[in-house]
Structure 1
């Protein structure tokens, strides 16, 4: 996966995600998620701890949608009729297997598995792609203007300075004895002043070095692409399309 050209990888994952949005197959979503996790875990240099932390909000979203689909199914799934047959009311939300209709359970699994399927594709790209290589690939294979691409890179590398500036602004308020709420926006506004100055200086520096998007430029670091990248894209997209046919449910 790390040899896959980042531009073609992003394009293939985007197309696979669009195809997946038309499918409601629980088995396909779970299978795709399992394959993505297996590919991510096959990289020894990737942090298992970081992956575990990211999976916490993903799991919360999946469980939340599962409970939403289970407790509030679409009309016609049979949950209300099953609850009445058991001598209870639908508003009681009886979790026993006797009152839970198979339709509502499958509806909940569909919602939860879709979260896992899309999360698997996103995590696969995030954990197997270098950010700088992706931007360079966008310029060389995606023909994105250098001014726009290097602007993204510059903003990305400015993030540590922005975080440090925000901490300094909060410290300045504490030194003056001003207590701020936890989610106060005052330190953010103070730090954004310097960020605006940095962006102006960065824009002038890029123009002075010829990063204005006009004329051709050579690349010091070339991102290679070949038939193998297209083959991997066809395998991913074709696999999702085949799964939609083989696993309709």
Structure 2
């Protein structure tokens, strides 16, 4: 279901939601958005559950780290004075409650942004998103196809880097882990590939300034509008009614 949504409208909805969340400090809203994102990913998408689980591991570590940092360092430590144990206990409880609330704000904030990012990343194909930008956002074809070319060349770049490192090892040249020598060879090959690709596209009649027809039409429908209205409306309502 989530894969059928228009990528451009989905991206704009999540972007606006993220901007609204940057002005929000509600723990309930942050946590509810993370839970909703996980429900949509695991229940209404074809994303690989193992891949999502692996991504959530560093997210959980980051959230826990911020929780501990906020809980341990956001409170004010006070030294008790003689005869003031009652007031000190009350002050310590207040400080602990404030620290816990700040820690929850920080940790759930990470979870909410991570959930929204995962919702878009694992339910959207890169090519469909670029085609959607061309058709709905009217991105110029030369920029769109340039991004697609770089995207599809990434596996070749990684292989070329491995070949360059292997060539140095065959010649008996030892390189440190931070050596930039293999990257220069890869950079030269990337420039050659880009020139060859540009000439190939021009030889096929490609002109980045003219309007072009698309073999793959990315459709938009009422479901995309409903998804945007419900998501943004829920965040706005949560900012008003969720005070904790």
Instruction: Determine which of 169, 183, 188 is the counterpart of 1:188.
Output: 183
Q: Report the counterpart of residue 80 of structure 1 in structure 2.
A: 77
Aligned Cα root-mean-square deviation (Å): 2.0
Count of matched residue pairs: 234
Distance 2:168 2:118 in 1: 38
Instruction: Determine which of 217, 224, 229 is the counterpart of 1:229.
Output: 224
Where does 1:26-45 land on structure 2 (aligned, <5 Å)?
A: 26-43=27-44, 45=46
Distance 1:131 1:55 in 2: 21
Q: Where does structure 2 lack aligned partners over 5 or more consecutive residues?
A: 83-91
Report if aligned partners of 1:24, 1:110 keep a CA contact under 8 Å in 2. yes
Q: Report the counterpart of residue 214 of structure 1 in structure 2.
A: 209
Where does 1:77-226 land on structure 2 (aligned, <5 Å)?
A: 77=75, 79-81=76-78, 84-85=79-80, 101-226=96-221
Q: Report the counterpart of residue 91 of structure 1 in structure 2.
A: none
Report if aligned partners of 2:142, 2:209 keep a CA contact under 8 Å in 1. no
SS of the residue corresponding to residue 4 of structure 2 reads: coil
Q: Where does structure 1 lack aligned partners over 5 or more consecutive residues?
A: 88-96
User: How far does the alpha carbon of each residue in 1:164-195 deviate from its partner, in whole angstroms, 9 at most, with x for none?
Assistant: 00000110111111222223222122211101
CA shift, 1:231, in A, is: 1.3
Q: Report the counterpart of residue 238 of structure 2 in structure 1.
A: 243
User: Normalising to structure 1: TM-score of the pair?
Assistant: 0.87
CA shift, 1:43, in A, is: 4.5
Where does 1:14-53 land on structure 2 (aligned, <5 Å)?
A: 14-43=15-44, 45-53=46-54
SS of the residue corresponding to residue 138 of structure 2 reads: coil
Report if aligned partners of 2:3, 2:45 keep a CA contact under 8 Å in 1. no
Distance 1:33 1:44 in 2: 16
Report if aligned partners of 1:146, 1:211 keep a CA contact under 8 Å in 2. no
Q: Report the counterpart of residue 60 of structure 2 in structure 1.
A: 59
User: Normalising to structure 2: TM-score of the pair?
Assistant: 0.89
SS of the residue corresponding to residue 80 of structure 1 reads: coil
Report if aligned partners of 1:86, 1:99 keep a CA contact under 8 Å in 2. no
Distance 1:86 1:55 in 2: 46
